[in-house]
Amino acid sequence: MSEAGGGGDANPPGRTVAGLVSMGLYFYAVVMVVALVWRMGFYGESIIFASEADEIIGISPLRDFSIGLGAGLALVAVSLGWAWSSRTGRALASELATLMGPLGVPNALLLALASGLAEEMFFRGALQPRVGLWLASFLFACVHFVPRRPLLPWTLFAAGAGLVFGWLFEWTGNLIAPITAHVVVNAVNLPLLERYFAPSAEKR
């Protein structure tokens, strides 16, 4: 399932898809600024690294990207397998597709990149070093809560995904792997949700 957050009705009256995407991008830009100010401004620490020791070790870009890619694809496989093999998963995917609305592939990929960057910078880069893996993952799940029964499993999936992203951050010591994994999950799942589970897809 996708980890791009949001609630309410898909494409409310008077709102265009482009307008909603623009609002999402502005929101994620604010989240990134808050994360940067919090970690780097208040604490004088690099937001990229989990700790000063990790900053000294540095980054292995190819290794960390590969780890993130593998983790992201594994989460995609779990979410899509669930959606295609169970009634609960299919109901969840249908609800999410309706909630997201008809984004189109370019907008979906743009939001996938923005949400992956912003949410990982905030929850892993800024929050996790202060509150720890478990609380950061719990709060990540909370912002993916929508008060509709069919969407409750999404919150549980977000909690599990948050633990995976947070563990990647601690294991590799930097944000490359969790950002890659998060972007991959959204970049693959958002278009597939629209293609196979949106109300219009049922008429094909």
pLDDT 10s per residue in the chain (204 long)?
A: 667 765 444 444 446 888 888 999 999 999 999 999 999 999 999 999 999 999 999 999 999 999 999 999 999 999 999 999 999 899 999 998 888 878 899 999 999 999 999 999 999 999 999 999 999 999 999 999 988 888 899 999 999 999 999 999 999 999 999 999 999 999 999 999 989 888 765 544
Determine, yes or no, domain membership for 178.
Answer: yes
CA distance 136 to 178: 13
Determine, yes or no, domain membership for 53.
Answer: yes
Determine, yes or no, domain membership for 2.
Answer: no
The amino acid occupying position 88 is T
Position 151 scores a pLDDT of: 87
Domain count, the chain: 1
Determine, yes or no, domain membership for 4.
Answer: no
Determine, yes or no, domain membership for 197.
Answer: yes
Domain extent at residue 21: 17-203
CA distance 103 to 7: 15
DSSP structural state of residue 38: I
Determine, yes or no, domain membership for 92.
Answer: yes
Position 6 scores a pLDDT of: 53
CB neighbours of residue 34 within 10 Å: 15
| Helix (H) / strand (E) containing 74 | helix 61-85
Position 204 scores a pLDDT of: 47
Determine, yes or no, domain membership for 55.
Answer: yes
Q: Whole-model pTM?
A: 0.90
C-alpha distance across the termini of the chain, in Å: 22
Token pair, residue 91, equals 């109901």
Between CA 108 and CA 116, with CA 111 as vertex, the angle to 5 degrees is 125
- Residue 72 makes CB contacts below 8 A (sequence gap 6+) with 180, 181, 182, 183, 184, 185, 188
Determine, yes or no, domain membership for 120.
Answer: yes
- Residue 92 makes CB contacts below 8 A (sequence gap 6+) with 1, 82, 83, 150, 151, 153, 154
Identify any residues that bridge with 49 across adjacent strands, giving them in sequence order: 174
Dihedral sign (CA 195, 91, 3, 71): negative
